Chain A
Amino acid sequence: MLGIFASIIDGVLVGLVYGLAAMGLTLIWGVMDVINLTHGAMLVAGMLVLYLLTAALGLSPYATLVPALIGGFIVGLLLYWIAIHRLVGRPPLMSLLSTFSVNLVLIGIGTAMLGTAPFNVPVSVPGISMGRYTFPGPHILAAVLAAVIAFLLYLFLHYTRLGKAIRAVANNREAAELVAIPTTRVLAISVGIGVSLAAVSGVLIGTLFPFTVLSGDSYQLKGFIVTVLGGLGNPVGALMGGIALGLLEGVVAPFVPVSWTLVIEFSLFVVVLIAFPGGVFAPRRGAL
């Protein structure tokens, strides 16, 4: 009994981080109908920031969240101007292809320079014991940080001028323009925030699991699963979707070999996509 309980808690902890990882993806989608296929590469960029800064400068792993946040924002602005700006308002397939090609470039550079060997960042945070089970400290800390960041994003979107502008653009870009919201700047900033969220969750994932330059793909796919569970364009739904995915992984893990979880997840992804194209937790669009 305690075993199931423990795996549920662990699932929720990891799920919160997955939710944060999907939040950037879903924010960009909600604001401008662009599915950012560089998301996985940006997650890996966050992981590499974590690895390089802890290994080279001896920073504490959690201190690297700040450079990841700022760096991610700048990279996001660049991404917007290079690959997205010309394609806003065009069929979504075009921006899908353009972000896909930027992803190829980033992954190509990453594998050529760093290879595909796994990196591991040692993090020592005391865990919490409960009977025979110990919940690892990094998992707890990462989940708490993910929840805090998600909460801050919610406050930002609902209670600041810029956040409200972002929601206005998501709802109706032309109307936003009519009331003098600088939509281009808002779009660029949204991509900045989306990528910065990706980098930050990359750091958090890096404190939990070893990773390679190619890990981004599988987390990006998890991000899609979370997003379709939570409803595209809905950051709060993403957190729910993340917890759902984490729970699924946690509960399924003791019963099937690890290598089958991927098969289950992708089948779930396709089935959910077909059955609930609008997302399970968010029946309506524009709920941002």
Chain B
Amino acid sequence: MLARRPFFWIITAVLAVFAILPVLGNNVELRESLIIAALYITLASNLNLMLGYAGYINFGSIVFFGLGGYVCVWLVSAYAWPLYAAIPAAGICVSALALLFGLGILRLRGAFFALATIGVNEGVQAFVENFSPWGGSSGIYLSPIIFKPFGGPAQGLWVIYFSMVAVMGLSLYLSYAIKVSKFGLGLLAIGQNEDAAAILGVPTPLYKALVYSVSAFLPAIVGGLYFLKSSFIQPADAFDLTLSTEVIVIAMLGGQGTVTGVALGAYLYEELRGFLLTSETFSHFQLVVAGVLLLVIVLFFPSGMMGFVYRQFPRTQKVLE
């Protein structure tokens, strides 16, 4: 059904470009920057399920990414699980945990929920820093032996890259599929007016808990892949609030609630970040730039880039979701 819509093929084309570009000429540098782009797109698309569709800000969405990384690295290092088993296991564990959390904190609304998500992230980070099986605050190191089944670290990194691109693709398809489904319609209704949605028969607590859990699955998997790639995980990297923040900036920049906008926003932000990190003047001011950007968007362009595109070219609304 989805395959009949043009937008499905646009996503597929983007994926093909991501998969083919770095392979041409074995361009490792390009691959590294595309990995970050894929990471941002995955995290931002899944945050968008909460922020853009259901209208709930999750300040601590990074907790899924970090926990996914930890579960995966721990299974591989302590129990020698093969990678192809550890990665989905991380996704399932974190998703189940999110469902549990979600049933609790999603009884809260709006700002209270947002505050609770900060609490969840800080609480989990503080817990992991004290949790000795996961190495406490010094973290877990992996030996490069884990890449042996693929024929060594160099090939292993390519496998990780293709997997990350695949996860990015899944995130985009998922965002799209949810948006055009009845579930997505219910979420959008919750985002507009939760009371009205409940009266019209949307099972709001269930939908909210479900979307919270769904939005945890792919970030956990990408967390697993990301930390397998760096062969090292510690709480400060895994629960980095900067990344959580950047993902919010991305979703707002592209246009909350749109699939295209969030992906575009993630790509642009990645380019901007690359520029900022290498520039002399701005390298220390990355957060400042992100903050100013977010403030300007919130105050003056709350519908983001896609809002602008939709207004200028109303026809694009039919094709680009």
A residues with CB within 8 A of B = 33, 35, 82-83, 86-87, 91-94, 96-98, 100-105, 107-109, 111-112, 217-218, 221, 224, 228, 257, 259-260, 262-263, 266-267, 269-270, 273-274, 277
Interchain Cβ contacts within 8 Å, total number: 126
Number of chain B residues close to chain A: CB under 8 A:
41
- Shortest CB-to-CB span from A145 to chain B, Å, is 28
- Partner of B298 from A33, A92, A94, A224 at Cβ < 8 Å: A94
CB contacts (< 8 Å) of B126 on chain A: these are: 259-260, 262-263, 266
Q: Which B272-305 residues have a C-beta within 8 angstroms of A?
A: 284-295, 298-299, 302
Given contacts A86-B299, A108-B285, contact A35 B290 (CB under 8 A): no
The answer to whether B285 and A270 touch across the interface, beta carbons within 8 angstroms, is: no
A86 to B289, CA, bound (A): 21
The answer to whether B284 and A101 touch across the interface, beta carbons within 8 angstroms, is: no
The answer to whether A100 and B294 touch across the interface, beta carbons within 8 angstroms, is: yes
Given contacts A109-B288, A274-B108, contact A93 B294 (CB under 8 A): no
A224 to B295, CA, bound (A): 23
B residues with CB within 8 A of A = 55, 57, 59, 104-105, 107-108, 110-112, 114-116, 118-120, 122-123, 126-127, 129-130, 241, 245, 248, 252, 284-295, 298-299, 302
- Shortest CB-to-CB span from B240 to chain A, Å, is 13
The answer to whether B287 and A107 touch across the interface, beta carbons within 8 angstroms, is: yes
- Partner of A221 from B57, B122, B287, B302 at Cβ < 8 Å: B122
Q: Of B57, B116, B129, B293, which is in contact with the most chain A CB atoms at under 10 Å from its CB? A: B116
The answer to whether A112 and B288 touch across the interface, beta carbons within 8 angstroms, is: yes
The answer to whether A98 and B130 touch across the interface, beta carbons within 8 angstroms, is: no
Given contacts A104-B294, A105-B291, A270-B104, contact A94 B302 (CB under 8 A): yes
The answer to whether B291 and A108 touch across the interface, beta carbons within 8 angstroms, is: yes
The answer to whether A273 and B108 touch across the interface, beta carbons within 8 angstroms, is: yes
The answer to whether B108 and A224 touch across the interface, beta carbons within 8 angstroms, is: no
Please, could you name 28 A-B residue pairs with CB atoms under 8 Å apart, sorted by A? A35-B111, A35-B115, A87-B298, A92-B110, A93-B110, A93-B114, A94-B302, A97-B248, A98-B294, A98-B299, A100-B245, A102-B295, A104-B287, A104-B291, A105-B287, A105-B295, A108-B284, A221-B119, A257-B130, A260-B126, A260-B130, A262-B123, A263-B123, A263-B130, A266-B122, A269-B123, A270-B105, A277-B112
